[in-house]
A and B are shown apart, each in its own frame.
Chain A
């Protein structure tokens, strides 16, 4: 079977002779002999290999068991969003010079890649209203966990405050990251109105706090109001971190405008496919003051020895390959290619196109909400809160049953919240409509929910 090895048998023979070996197996003399560990799966499991055609058919057989967006219309978000992606994006990002290159440690042979990273940093910074951005982290959740670590190191404090408006999965990732560091994690509850309240802040912000993290929009789709939060936190020496959906920031007030010190986000909504969950794109932006504190790679603009403007990786002394156990983070590989995809998308759509897309999401979600809450026995859990493109629907029948009912009929409906938030959320589901949903699809979803309700 193919191993993508180019040698002819004669060449292999010549090479072995040059090394002074008789057989290629002699190269294994440097390894010790071992016995198979009892119980571990046997190597024969790997099979005898297959050709391209057979391989693709094998994968196609698995793929057709999945209800992807072509088989079930997506009305689900909760951190992963079905957006329009221009065809040019895939074509450009799959160019071999981007796809098959390594981290641009040799700037002279990587100017294109470095410039793309620099442009990505620029676009993300402007979108978030912040001074600077890094070259990416693994995903939104890990980006936020890393931001919390920055605040802990910066302040030397060991208590953090997370908004209840953050995706519970992301909060759990923060927990995992802090596992070994003896950090106390407090929760800032959202009020009845789906927004945080000044009273909740006052009770929890003091001089022991390293940082507060809020969400734009919240996991429940509501748009929180952070008026006065920056001053309150800074008055106590704590950092203000916001985790924001970049798609929404084409319209919504930015972390920079709220006075955040660090802002993170999940870049998937900037034009990456749903991807069964990954690879996604971790975004991290910050105020200039924290430039030497943030983790991950940074591309900078400089001049070459003959005065030409050019790009390099910079401030590398923060990173693991130099500072080892004292580094800002252990991150090495990041998500550069996905960052370039997001950049290409932003460039193709432009500021107007991004705002139009965000407005389309907002419009469709509000239309869907209006139609669904008009059904008998259905209400919006936060009826008075402003929301972007997601909202929580409440009804008596279990949301899980509804999800199953809809999926069997070609609709991926709102996310049942009981598995995420506990038994009291049984009748609640988190719905989303993005700019790509059509009027017909919305009609179809509403009709099916009506049908479900009539049977339950």
Chain B
């Protein structure tokens, strides 16, 4: 499950990293465009346990706040400290430098139940999700 990315209907992406069970989470390019300029990201505390679909972070633009939901259940094992001082990274590089946090999934196999790229693209086109 190398650098594959899966998605949620609420516009988060998740992608496994080298270590077993650890996965990076961010928001999609579509989402960052909808949010417009990110001014602040409220990141979770390391060690926070989350359920799939539970609110785990908040992204703020000037005129709105958006909840970020956990794509899978697990524990937050690291956060992207760079975006605390430079939230614009979420806009500039949503799949790279603009990642939000790392999750240690309690059941990594659930990853494959999430929509893949093609399914997510279809979702955007049909205007679904949040």
Touch between A and B in complex, CB under 8 Å? yes
Interface residues of A, Cβ cutoff 8 Å to B: 292, 315-317, 322-323, 326
Instruction: Judge whether A292 and B42 touch: CB under 8 Å.
Output: yes
* B64 contacts A322, C-beta separation under 8 Å: yes
For residue B62, CB closer than 8 A to chain A, the reply is: yes
> Is B130 positioned at the interface, with any CB of A under 8 Å from its CB?
no
Render B14-44 as a binary contact track against A, CB cut-off 8 A, 1 for contact: 0000000000000000000000000110100
A317 to B42, CA, bound (A): 11
Asked if B61 is an interface residue, CB under 8 A from chain A, the answer is yes
Give residues 70-91 of B contacting A (CB, 8 Å): none
Nearest first, the 9 closest Cβ-Cβ pairs linking A and B are A317-B60, A317-B65, A323-B65, A322-B65, A322-B64, A292-B40, A317-B64, A322-B63, A316-B63
Known: A317-B61, A322-B64. 4 other contacts (CB 8 A): A317-B60, A317-B63, A317-B64, A323-B65
Complex CA distance for A315 and B62, rounded to whole angstroms: 7
**How many pairs of A and B residues are in contact by the CB < 8 Å rule?**
18
A205 to chain B, nearest CB (A): 22
Instruction: Give the CA-CA distance A326 to B39 in the complex, in Å.
Output: 18
Q: Which residues on the A side are within 8 Å of B63 (C-beta)?
A: 316-317, 322
CB distance from B28 to the nearest CB of A (A): 20
Interface residues of B, count at CB 8 A = 9
What are 18 residue pairs bridging A and B, where the CB atoms are less than 8 Å apart in the complex? A292-B40, A292-B42, A315-B40, A316-B62, A316-B63, A317-B39, A317-B40, A317-B60, A317-B61, A317-B62, A317-B63, A317-B64, A317-B65, A322-B63, A322-B64, A322-B65, A323-B65, A326-B65
Chain A residues closer than 8 Å to B60, beta-carbon distance: 317
CB distance from B48 to the nearest CB of A (A): 11
Chain B residues, CB < 8 A from A316: 62-63
Q: Would you give the shortest CB distance from A136 to chain B, in whole angstroms? A: 22
Give the chain B neighbours of A317 by CB distance below 8 A.
39-40, 60-65
Shortest Cβ distance from residue B61 to the other chain A in the assembled complex, whole angstroms: 7
| Residues in chain B near residue A326, CB distance under 8 A | 65
CB nearest neighbor in B for A326: B65
- Distance between Cα atoms of A221 and B63 in the complex (Å): 44
Task: Give the distance to chain B from A304, nearest Cβ to Cβ, in Å.
Answer: 15
CA gap between A378 and B86 in the complex, in Å: 64
- Beta-carbon nearest neighbor of B67 in chain A: A326
Q: How far is the CA of A156 from the CA of B84 in the complex (A)?
A: 21
Nearest CB in chain A: distance from B74 CB, A: 20
Q: Closest chain A residue to B39 by CB distance?
A: A317
Q: Which residue of B lies closest to A314 (CB)?
A: B62
Chain B proximity of A449: nearest CB distance (Å): 58
A317 to B65, CA, bound (A): 6
A408 to B40, CA, bound (A): 60
Chain A residues in 8 Å Cβ range of B39: 317
A322 to B67, CA, bound (A): 12
Smallest CB gap from B40: residue in A: A292
B64–chain A nearest beta-carbon distance, Å: 6
In the complex, per-residue mask of B38-70: 1 if CB is within 8 Å of any chain A CB, else 0:
011010000000000000000011111100000
**How long is the Cα–Cα vector from A329 to B65 in the complex, in angstroms?**
15
Chain B residues near A292: list those with CB within 8 A. 40, 42
C-alpha gap A135/B40 in the complex (Å)? 21
Chain A residues with CB under 8 Å of B64's CB are 317, 322
Give A322 to B39 CA distance when docked, in angstroms. Answer: 14
Q: How far is the CA of A329 from the CA of B39 in the complex (A)?
A: 20
**A322 CB contacts on chain B under 8 angstroms:** 63-65
Looking across the interface, which residue of chain A has its beta carbon closest to that of B55?
A: A326
Chain B: minimal CB distance from A298 (Å): 13
The docked-state distance in angstroms from the alpha carbon of A323 to that of B66 is 9
